A = this chain, B = another copy of it.
């Protein structure tokens, strides 16, 4: 193994990198590993031990709240180049809540162990500031989601979701069940089913087995 295998990568992701001592750099290098998760697997759930800091290399992660009775609320998603800080929540005293994390696509991740990341943030104020700034970024994401969920009508929420997926998929079809969509936008399947019927009556969408086809984007965008 090359001693400073991840130096180039870390210097690109971490604004605090230049402020670390050689020993701190070595520590992070030594406690980092590549991990892979297949599509639709759980990486982390509330009760698990803290996974540490995660850098998304490929794929997509979904960070969500899970209720005792199994309901889910999607907080935000992470894409290649994003860093997951809530998987390292045990490192930061100011984070007192737990989230669940799934890979929603095959994902390759770089995982820095919680213990190593903790030591560096504890010793180095630049690393600490970086971690808390990242947490505050996610705070902003969550506030956005919260406003969606609490204030918007379901028509608007579903329209935003469909428009987002459409933008990502580069086709007119979204391959997701109503059950899955309901989980993503934090509601019940029956509610999604009703709204899709409503949109369908309006000529906006057409449901098919395992997905939804968008027929009229202009009309859909009017709901945004």
Contact = CB atoms under 8 A, between A and B. Distances in A.
A147 interface: yes
- Name the interface size band of chain A: 20 to 34
Interface string A142-160: 1110110111000000000
A134 to B, nearest CB: 8
Contacts of A146: 65, 73, 142, 146
Contact of A133 (B94, B144, B149, B150): B94
Contacts of A94: 133-134, 136-137, 139-140
A26 to B, nearest CB: 22
A95 B136 contact: yes
Contacts of A135: 132, 135-136, 139
Q: Determine how many copies of this chain the complex contains.
A: 2
Interface string A121-143: 00001101100111111111011
Contacts of A128: 129, 133
Contact of A150 (B139, B144, B186): B186
A142 B142 contact: yes
Interface in A140-188: 140, 142-144, 146-147, 149-151, 186
B65 A97 contact: no
A67 interface: yes
Interface string A94-132: 111100000000000000000000000000011011001
Given A136-B136, A137-B94, A143-B97, A150 B151 contact: no
28 contacts: A65-B146, A65-B150, A67-B151, A71-B151, A73-B151, A92-B136, A94-B133, A94-B134, A94-B137, A94-B139, A95-B136, A95-B140, A96-B140, A96-B144, A97-B140, A97-B144, A125-B125, A125-B126, A125-B129, A132-B132, A132-B133, A132-B136, A135-B135, A136-B139, A142-B142, A142-B146, A146-B146, A150-B186
Given A71-B151, A92-B136, A135-B139, 19 more contacts: A65-B146, A67-B147, A73-B146, A92-B133, A94-B139, A95-B136, A95-B140, A97-B144, A125-B129, A128-B129, A129-B129, A132-B132, A135-B135, A136-B136, A136-B139, A139-B139, A139-B142, A142-B143, A149-B150
